[in-house]
Chain A
């Protein structure tokens, strides 16, 4: 791996091309999601942001649980209750060998939610209440959470920018931030596409993952810029070449640190609780893209024609 030498000067345009392609793809996803979907938002906002009711509960079957068609269950639920708003927007899945029931509905009061559970119990019961997970989020809180997340993102981006511009001179700071926005935009775009194609929703942990990615990506870029600065002090004659050497010198370390951060995240994806699944996925994506942008994209900005 030490013998690895990547010709950054020669491949600069390929890198720009690749990044532009990714950004365009993300923008298309965001626009498509905004104008061409039922939710009409840049990204498929989950229950945290729009309110609703989520219920997950295990069936307690003697041996294996028998298959039941979710449509049939919804049909049966209609005979128990006549709350049209809920029953028309109910999403019901039965997973894990027919044993795990997960239900999503619009906002319900605690009373209505209890009713729903007891009705499900009548159809699919007996249920194992020890394994119940029920979340109810009012629409008011959702809006508040959304603004809250947006503010956190903006404030911390501002704080990071401030730190970077104090730490580096303007040019470096600008490029580090460009790389950062590139990373965030692409992760956002990927989740826009996931929302469009697989109806994956984002919740408040997604915003947290974006913030963490921001910190990580800037950190990575800073390390490489540090190296470039250090090498330029010793050898300022051949500017482009020095940058390329610095990048090659940092390659191993960026690759390794990404791997060591990805390993725990992958164990979280595999072993962790379901509520952390998409969080870990978005963090992993962010770290892969962040490493790419710090090692290849950000230094490319510095290369002079």
Chain B
């Protein structure tokens, strides 16, 4: 009896501690409950597996970019061997994030090859034309057949000139792809140098004085500054141009004046002026600051949830959980009377312990997670039913109450442990192999199973022992439902 009392104090202590935890460390809610955007990023490697180092390197670069995005509480995590998950709480339009993250942002400086001037001039002319068409498409009336026909005709002219045609069905995509092709072709007219984005120490942006366009400024490291001086020196005063290439596309070409013929451009700084809008300039700045990605990434999943929907989801889940608890409680008390009452109390304990553990570990609560919790309520009661049925049998067989309770717990033990282990195995596998979404379910159900072992075997027993110390509660018919009372 003394040992039981010790347990009682222990359980009460645990309950107080749980409530303390819940008050001081509120539960972390997932994006489906508080609203925001979640992006799953896949590392792309054509041959072979992505190594751990590569994943870490990509993670580091993206982390810098994400921090420069300026979304509060953003969270970037690796998932499995070749994926990353980015959470942007409160963000309703992940477009700009996706643009900033998705680009490799490999910056190169190239010098023009011999006798390519006429080719370059023509490509630059075509680029001007296509930029014009893109502006027309964006500002023009898309419903108007005439404008789109005009656009198509102009595009065909360009296509014929550069001998390329995009396979894309959509006009806008066609325009963008053609522009990309032209930029690639321009980049191919230039020789690579050893100066790249790695030699940058900072990047910034400012508005050009002459017009409304933005430019991106670069500061090189000491070594980078020397390389830049060397490169500019080599083409100063010639008709060769310097090209700034981003992800294989030439975004800007510039000549170096003859005044730099002796020293090159010194000072370790340069600017890129490539008709940037304010937003484009900011994106490039963030990308360059973070460095280039060692492997390209692809955004394979985007999930956006509005804040209103999130709070609706919380309310719905709360309803489901509370109603579930109430109905299970009614069912148990109706069938098992005092025993049922005991199971309801230990279920309430169970709920608190679960939530406390979520805030302690911590487990981020998501919709599937709540489903796991609600399902685990059912499973926790399972164990109680097993025990109570045994107690009932013992009572019907004419055993004393105390003896029945003891042997009921004892005999149900192995079945309960078996059942919990099989469920736990499923959860474990789900947690190891599942996606983020699935992991939430596996985590809460798995934790529930473990706690249920404790509450159903120990809490119920302790509470029951405590109640049976009162003489008035020791009548057998309080433990058997009416239909079976002899």
A272–B317 CA distance with the chains assembled, in angstroms: 5
- Residue interface bits B374-397, CB-to-A below 8 A is 1, else 0: 110111011001100100010010
Within 8 A of A (CB), among B91-112: 92-95, 98
In the complex the two chains form, is B429's CB within 8 Å of A268's CB?
Answer: no
Residues of A within 8 A of B286 (CB): none
With an 8 A cutoff between CB atoms, is A202 at the interface?
no
- In chain A, residues 178-223, which have Cβ atoms closer than 8 Å to a Cβ of chain B? 204-205, 207-208, 211-212, 214-216, 218-220, 222-223
B358 at interface, CB cutoff 8 A? no
- CB-defined contacts of B335 to chain A, threshold 8 Å: 256
Say yes or no: A163-B425 contact (C-beta < 8 A), given A110-B299, A222-B419: yes
Judge whether A160 and B306 touch: CB under 8 Å.
no
Binds B, one of A13-21, A22-30, A61-69, A135-143: A135-143
A303 part of interface (Cβ distance < 8 Å): no
Chain A 148-160 near chain B by CB (<8 Å), digits 1 or 0: 1001100110011
By a CB distance below 8 angstroms, the chain A residues around B424 are 215
Known contacts A163-B425, A223-B386; A268/B374 CB under 8 A: yes
Q: A110 and B95 in contact (CB under 8 A), knowing A152-B434, A212-B445? A: yes
A220 to B327, CA, bound (A): 22
Interface contact B307-A130, CB-CB below 8 Å: yes
Q: Which residues of A contact B307 (CB under 8 A)?
A: 130
Give per-residue flags for B419-460: 1 if the beta carbon is below 8 A from chain A beta carbons, else 0. Answer: 111111111111001110110011001000000000000000
Binds B, one of A36-44, A237-245, A275-283: A275-283
Known contacts A134-B304, A155-B429; is-contact A260 B368 (Cβ 8 Å): no
Given contacts A130-B307, A141-B40, A215-B422, contact A264 B328 (CB under 8 A): yes
Q: Which residues of B contact A211 (CB under 8 A)?
A: 426, 429-430
Q: Is the C-beta of A90 less than 8 angstroms from some C-beta in chain B?
A: no
Q: B434 is contacted by which of A128, A138, A208, A264 (Cβ under 8 Å)?
A: A208
- The 8 A CB mask of A65-81 against B (1 = contact, 0 = none) is 00000000000000111
Is there contact, CB below 8 Å, between B418 and A167?
yes
Least CB distance from B207 to A in Å reads: 25
Asked if B371 and A111 sit within 8 Å, CB to CB, the answer is no
Number of interface residues of A (CB under 8 A): 77
Instruction: A273 to B316: give the CA distance in the assembly, Å.
Output: 6
- Asked if B414 lies at the interface with its beta carbon under 8 angstroms from chain A, I say yes
Task: Report if B332 contacts A (CB, 8 A).
Answer: yes
| B304–A271 touching, CB < 8 Å | no
Within the complex, what minimum Cβ distance (angstroms) separates B239 from chain A? 39
Interface of A is mostly: helix
| Chain B residue total in the interface (Cβ 8 A) | 81
- Asked whether, in the complex, the Cβ of B95 is within 8 Å of the Cβ of A114, the reply is yes
Interface status of B312 (Cβ within 8 A of chain A):
yes
B275 interface residue (CB < 8 Å to A) = no
- Is B473 in contact with chain A by the CB < 8 A criterion? no
Q: Of B92, B378, B428, B433, which is within 8 A of A264 by CB?
A: B378
Say whether B426 contacts A214, CB under 8 Å.
yes
Interface assignment of A96: CB less than 8 Å from any CB of chain B = no
Identify which of B94, B171, B302 gathers the most chain A CB atoms within 10 Å of its CB.
B302
B129 at interface (Cβ–Cβ under 8 A)? Answer: no
Chain B residues with Cβ under 8 A from A212's Cβ?
375, 423, 426, 445
Q: Which stretch, B187-195, B247-255, B318-326, touches the partner chain A?
A: B318-326
A-B contact pairs, 7 of them (CB 8 A): A134-B304, A135-B304, A140-B42, A219-B418, A264-B375, A273-B313, A273-B317
Residues on A facing B (Cβ under 8 Å):
1-2, 57, 79-85, 110-111, 113-114, 128-138, 140-141, 145, 148, 151-152, 155-156, 159-160, 163-164, 167, 204-205, 207-208, 211-212, 214-216, 218-220, 222-223, 226-227, 249, 252-253, 256-257, 259-265, 267-268, 270-273, 275-276, 279-280, 283
